[in-house]
Amino acid sequence: NAGVTQTPKFQVLKTGQSMTLQCAQDMNHNSMYWYRQDPGMGLRLIYYSASEGTTDKGEVPNGYNVSRLNKREFSLRLESAAPSQTSVYFCASSGIQGNTEAFFGQGTRLTVV
Amino acid sequence: GENVEQHPSTLSVQEGDSAVIKCTYSDSASNYFPWYKQELGKGPQLIIDIRSNVGEKKDQRIAVTLNKTAKHFSLHITETQPEDSAVYFCAALYYGNNRLAFGKGNQVVVIP
């Protein structure tokens, strides 16, 4: 039982490049989330998916897109990376939308130069 | 709107002493308040949570108290140990959009 798995763990992009962060959970959770963590800013929600087939914007969605491919997988895409998107990205999942324990992945450290 | 404030931002304690972190929230309809611990290089992990129908919950050296009238909840760590050194996040569930809003985190350093 792996929990929440994120790939890659580290990535360096040049400004303007695109990439997709992958996330998969094996706990049969309905809800999945993408957060970014910046020094002094805590965890800020980018997008979330309450169930398969639905996605909603969070606090800081600009510059990102998401896909809930199936119940297990929720990907985050940066179409044209900017230095302001340098951050640590966390994927999380929970059973009932927000109302039970959220499990986090190990994070992806992204640097945009 | 959703707002969870967490303070102090950093806290240093001597090993064996107690540590207390306090959070305040803005939405009186919130009913679920988890605390997460994040160790260096890892994702946050739930350590304890409390729901609005109770005022206190304890799990070994960790306890959480909730004051719904004042809209604040606190994490208490007793007999601190070096492995308690980490960043701690509080969160509150908001009914309006059914999402968890996180505080900015608190760096706890336990001095041996």
Mean pLDDT throughout A34-45? Answer: 90
B93 phi/psi in degrees, rounded to 5: -90, 130
Per-residue pLDDT of chain B (112 residues; tens, 9 = 90+): 568 898 778 999 999 999 999 999 987 778 889 999 999 989 999 999 998 888 999 999 999 999 988 999 999 999 999 999 999 999 988 776 667 888 999 999 999 9
pLDDT of residue A98: 56
pLDDT of residue B96: 66
- Residue A99, pLDDT > 70, answer no
Mean pLDDT throughout A71-83? Answer: 97
Distance CA B102, CA B98 (A): 13
A83 phi/psi in degrees, rounded to 5: -55, -30
Q: Kindly give, in sequence order, each residue whose CB lies less than 8 Å from that of residue B60, ignoring residues fewer than 6 positions away.
A: none
pLDDT of residue A45: 92
Cβ-based contacts under 8 A for chains A and B:
54
Residue with tokens 């897109």: A65
Token pair recorded at residue A36: 């970014």
- Residue A42, pLDDT > 60, answer yes
* Rounded CA Rg of chain B: 13
Q: Kindly give, in sequence order, each residue whose CB lies less than 8 Å from that of residue B69, ignoring residues fewer than 6 positions away.
A: none
pLDDT of residue B1: 55
Q: Kindly give, in sequence order, each residue whose CB lies less than 8 Å from that of residue B28, ignoring residues fewer than 6 positions away.
A: B68, B71
Residue B89 · residue B4 · CB < 8 Å: no
Bond preceding residue B112 cis, omega within 30 of 0: no
Chain B residue numbers touching A97 (CB-CB < 8 A): 98-99
Distance CA A36, CA A106 (A): 12
pLDDT of residue B12: 96
**What amino acid is encoded at A110 in this protein?**
L
Partner B, chain A 7-66, Cβ-Cβ below 8 Å = 35, 40-45, 48, 50, 56, 58
Nearest CA in chain B to A32: B99
